[in-house]
Amino acid sequence: MTVTRSQPLTLEQFLQQCPEDGRYELVNGELVRILATRQHEDVADFIAKRFDREVDRLGLNYKVSGRIVLATQTAAGVEQGRFPDVSVVDLEQWRANRRAYNALREPIQLAVEVVSTNWEDDYIDKLDEYCRLGINEYWIVDYLALGSRRYLGNPKQPSVLVYTIHDDGQYAMERFQGGDRIRSTTFPELTLSMDDILQS
């Protein structure tokens, strides 16, 4: 659902006016509701719980959340408000201004997007915006194999694409399918595969 307005919303207006009855993003000045199936939510929750376990097990200095809004920017300089399915943020960054309602403007450690029918948003728009922001690691979890063969192979298979930022500021991608152990720079000891996610 898109709510149309005569004037584009700024990020600050979006944060002030965003309804509390669901998840919304600011896309090209418009308030866009993010609708997810129960299966989508289950996949996101499963990943967040696995991340949380690693944080607790290893005593890592991270907060894992599904309620963080990120201030990103398009190539044309348009400010967006993105709401990853799972975010991993450094605790010091999170606690720097705990009373704030605003979006995080600094790069977080890891963002996860679980793919829905609007898969191009995750594979193209958010990939570019998250790279531009400097997010260290970005996962695209395509459990329904909705993306193109370019990303998922031929025949298409459910996949996790892990993008890791390099010194040149660009992402390098690895694809994980089936029982492949997903390699993460944020959680190097994590034991997780696409098969595990599909069974969640």
User: CATH number for the domain including 143?
Assistant: 3.90.1570.10
- Whether 17 is in a domain gets the answer no
* Parent domain of 182: 36-198
The answer to whether residue 130 is domain-embedded is yes
Does any domain span residue 16? no
Q: What confidence category does residue 22 fall into, taking pLDDT thresholds of 50, 70 and 90?
A: confident
Q: What percent of the chain has pLDDT over 90?
A: 80
Q: Tell me, yes or no, whether 190 lies in a domain.
A: yes
Please report whether residue 19 resides in a domain.
no
Q: For residues 172 and 27, what is the distance between their CA atoms, to the nearest angstrom?
A: 25
Confidence (pTM): 0.93
Per residue in 91-148, pLDDT tens? Answer: 999 998 777 767 899 999 999 999 988 899 999 999 999 999 999 999 999 999 999 9
Q: Does any domain span residue 18? A: no
What is the tally of structural domains in the chain?
1
Q: How confident is the model at residue 21 (pLDDT cuts 50, 70, 90)?
A: confident
Q: Which residue has the higher pLDDT, 10 or 109?
A: 109
Which pLDDT does position 97 carry in this prediction? Answer: 76
pLDDT band at 19, cuts 50/70/90?
Answer: confident
For residue 20, the model assigns a pLDDT of: 79
Residue 9, in any domain of the structure: no
**CA–CA separation, 165 and 167 (whole Å):** 7
Instruction: Check if the beta carbon of residue 29 is closer than 8 Å to that of residue 86.
Output: no
Express as a percent the part of the chain with pLDDT over 70.
Answer: 96
- Quick one: pLDDT at residue 1? 42
Place of tokens 């029918």: 117
Q: Tell the burial category of 59 from Cβ atoms under 10 Å away from its Cβ (0-12, 13-18, 19+).
A: exposed
DSSP 101: -
Q: What is the mean pLDDT of residues 173-184?
A: 98
Per-residue pLDDT, 6: 62
**13 part of a folded domain:** no
Q: How many residues does the chain have?
A: 200
Percentages helix, strand, coil for the chain, rounded to the nearest 5? 30, 30, 45
Per the prediction, the chain carries an average pLDDT of 93
